[in-house]
Amino acid sequence: MADPPSVKPVADSRCKTTEIVLPNDTNGLGNMMGGRLLHLMDKCAAISAQRHAHRVCVTASVDNVEFQSAIEEGEVVIIEGHVNRAFRTSMEVELNVWAENPLQETRRKCNRAFYTFVALDEDGSPVPVPDIDPQTPQERERHEAAAKRRDIRLVLAGRKDLEDAASLKEDMLTALQRSTDAVE
């Protein structure tokens, strides 16, 4: 297997999937079951990660899942994913979900989540992945925010001390300073 490039644009990892919500996908209220949606999101995220890493990639974590609006039977689910940032062997994949009503010609945002994937070699061991080259202002913002979310995940998992999470310390100090300024 040829070595992947050392840096890749976000666009190379993009994945868009669509699926109609059928009765077997819904709960007693006629809404898509959350577990079914998470399954579809995991598949889309895996495709994004594998497009970026050119390796088999596995889900390491899922966080910050925001269910904003129910998706109803008969609607079309649209899931878009892309890699926000690559670390040494892991990648953060952002997923955005929309529901489209083809009869009413409407579309609304329903969900957003961040998945972490790890690239593996043939023996199942983690392997380095290419860096991400954020090319637009929005991609650069997502790239920076991904580093902060990673610090949060590692601190909460006990794999990183808060003192070592420089970006979090700066953000916390800024927030504390603003709240102190507001009181004065």
The pLDDT tens digits of the residues spanning 89-132 come to: 999 999 999 999 999 999 999 999 999 999 999 999 999 999 99
Q: What is the largest CA-CA distance in the chain?
A: 62
pLDDT tier, 44 (very low <50, low <70, confident <90, very high otherwise): very high
Identity at 99, one-letter amino acid code: A
Beta bridge partners of 91: 86, 117
DSSP bridge pairs for 134:
none
pLDDT at 179 over 60: no
Give pLDDT, residue 184: 59
Q: Is the pLDDT of residue 56 over 90?
A: yes
Q: Rounded distance, CA 107 to CA 105, Å?
A: 7
Give 161's pLDDT tier (boundaries 50, 70, 90).
Answer: confident
Instruction: Assign 169 a pLDDT band (cuts: 50, 70, 90).
Output: low
pTM of the model: 0.86
pLDDT of residue 172: 65
Distances (CA, A) of 33 to 40, 67, 73: 11, 11, 10
The Cα 65–Cα 112 span in angstroms is 6
The pLDDT value given to residue 95: 97
Q: What's the pLDDT at 178? A: 66
Q: Are 143 and 134 in contact (CB under 8 A)?
A: yes
**pLDDT score at 108:** 97
